[in-house]
């Protein structure tokens, strides 16, 4: 059984400037999964840098509220919502609330540096 505690995951600043903790990745935990799972956070008033992935991605909003931008569309998002981001779409997320915007990032197939381009 593999149980991972968020507090034991190293905090990094991702290329898009979100605060990120990688929970599951097939190359680091040795698990037989296709996807990667990370916990991300944006502080109030911050916006992630515009970027795109070659792969699909899903954000699941845990806490807070913001505005999601995908290609030429945008929508208000809040806790309890899942957002599908198609492959090769430009994306950014803005925290419009007064508290941290916390969300999960699921990338399938698993995130690789060479699949991401920060614009």
Output the CA–CA distances (angstroms, integers) from residue 38 to 71, 72, 75, 98, in the order listed.
22, 25, 22, 23
pLDDT in tens, the chain (119 residues): 889 999 999 999 999 999 999 999 998 877 889 999 999 999 999 999 999 999 999 999 999 999 999 999 999 999 999 999 999 999 999 999 999 999 999 999 999 999 999 99
CB 106 within 8 A of CB 23: no
Task: Kindly list the structural domains of the chain, giving each domain's residue range(s) and its CATH number in brackets, ordered by start.
Answer: 10-118 (2.60.120.10)
- pTM of structure: 0.94
Q: Which residues of 16-26 are buried (b: 16+ CB within 10 A; e: fewer)?
A: bebbbbbbbbe
Give the Cα-Cα-Cα angle 83, 81, 87 (nearest 5 degrees): 10
């Amino acid at each position: 059984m593999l149980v991972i505690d968020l507090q034991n995951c190293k905090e990094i600043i991702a290329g898009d400037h979100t605060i990120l903790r990688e929970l599951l990745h097939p190359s680091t935990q040795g698990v037989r999964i296709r996807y990667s799972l990370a916990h991300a956070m944006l502080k109030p008033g911050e916006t992630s840098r515009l970027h795109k992935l070659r792969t699909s991605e899903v954000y699941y909003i845990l806490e807070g509220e913001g505005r999601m931008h995908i290609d030429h569309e945008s929508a208000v998002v809040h806790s309890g919502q899942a957002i599908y981001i198609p492959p090769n779409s430009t994306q950014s997320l803005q925290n419009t609330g007064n508290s941290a915007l916390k969300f999960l990032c699921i990338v399938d197939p698993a995130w690789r540096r060479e699949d991401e381009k920060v614009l």
